[in-house]
Amino acid sequence: MKSKLLAGVLLILSVMLIGGFFYLTPTYIQDAGDLKHFEDADLSFDLSKNWTVYEYDDAIKTPFLSSSPSHLILTPVDNSMYSYYEGDVEDLTANGTVLNTSTTNATDVVIVQTEISKIKSLPEGFSLDNAYQTDSIYRMMASSGKFHLVSDTALEVDGHQAHQFVYDVSYSRYQDTWIQGDGNYYRVFSYSPTTVYGEAEPIFNQTLSTLKIK
């Protein structure tokens, strides 16, 4: 009898412990009117209602994610939000998430994404003026003959010195912004096919213009 009672008490305590663990988990993504707001220990920013920060809206995974990540990935919630397809966008998915290849093919859906990285320092010989050249595949892009630097702009982000480079490589356009924070560098790296860049650029700019470094 006592063993059954003890087992019941332990079960209740386990449920309470697990419930408390999830209850006390920080909420990283919150609704902010027509936008979403993301905040962790290092920075905050707004993003489109139709976008999310990879895995940080997953209630199961969130308790185990870092509050000070070195890398964040921002993507559209719907993987068919941007595409080459000229029909109804609903045709591209089955149940809203899975590509419906019976209607179209995978090349119709294109990758549009923003990556935010925290970097301790730039390699020797590099500064904000040429930070984009530190990318691991820059030499390959430059030597391909398909690299074209569209713009090279000094600016400020949240009061911090920054530099933005926009460049094309083949059929893709990249918005590559480097920010000198307090003791770290931050890279906001957004990209899409050139054909949909006009649609994606306002969303890229929204996140960048609202970025706050703590």
Q: Identify whether the C-beta of residue 46 lies closer than 8 Å to the C-beta of residue 35.
A: yes
CA distance 138 to 94: 37
Q: Decide if 20 is inside a domain.
A: no
Give the residue ranges of DSSP H helices in 25-173. 138-143
Q: Decide if 21 is inside a domain.
A: no
In this prediction, what percent of the chain has a pLDDT beyond 70? 76
In sequence order, what are the beta bridge partners of 56? none
pLDDT in tens, 59-84: 888 888 899 999 999 999 987 788 76
Give whichever of 25-39, 41-55, 56-70, 81-95 has the largest mean pLDDT.
41-55
Q: What is the DSSP letter of 109?
A: B
Q: Decide if 181 is inside a domain.
A: yes
CA distance 98 to 92: 8
Q: Identify whether the C-beta of residue 68 lies closer than 8 Å to the C-beta of residue 40.
A: yes
* Confidence (pLDDT) at 59: 80
Total domains present in the chain: 1
CB atoms within 10 A of CB 195: 14
Give the residue ranges of DSSP H helices in 48-137. none
Q: Decide if 13 is inside a domain.
A: no
Q: Decide if 60 is inside a domain.
A: yes
CATH number at residue 153: 3.40.1000.10
pLDDT in tens, 136-166: 899 998 998 999 999 999 999 999 999 999 9
pLDDT in tens, 77-109: 987 788 766 666 566 555 555 555 544 444 566
Q: Decide if 157 is inside a domain.
A: yes
Nearest to 191 by CA among 203, 178, 173: 173
Q: Decide if 104 is inside a domain.
A: no
- The answer on pLDDT for 20 being more than 80 is no
pTM above 0.75, yes or no: yes
Q: Decide if 137 is inside a domain.
A: yes
* Confidence (pLDDT) at 182: 84
Domain residues for the domain of 200 are 28-77+110-213
| Residue 58, CA atoms < 13 Å, CB-side half-sphere | 9
